Amino acid sequence: MPSRHLRPSSGWVEVICGSMFSGKTEELLRRLRRAVIARQNVQLFKPAVDTRYGVATVASHDGLKWEAAVVTDAAGLVAALVPETTVVAVDEVQFFDEAIVAVCNDLAHRGLRVIVAGLDTDFRGEPFGPMPFLVAQAEEVTKLHAICVRCGGEASRTQRLIDGRPAHYEDPVVMIGAAESYEARCRACHQVPRR
Of 113, 100, 101, 124, give the one whose Cα is nearest residue 185: 124
Distances (CA, A) of 140 to 5, 17, 109, 189: 11, 11, 15, 29
Residues 6+ apart with CB under 8 A from 35: 42, 87, 113
Of 132, 131, 134, 157, give the one whose Cα is nearest residue 144: 157
Catalytic sites, residue numbers: 92
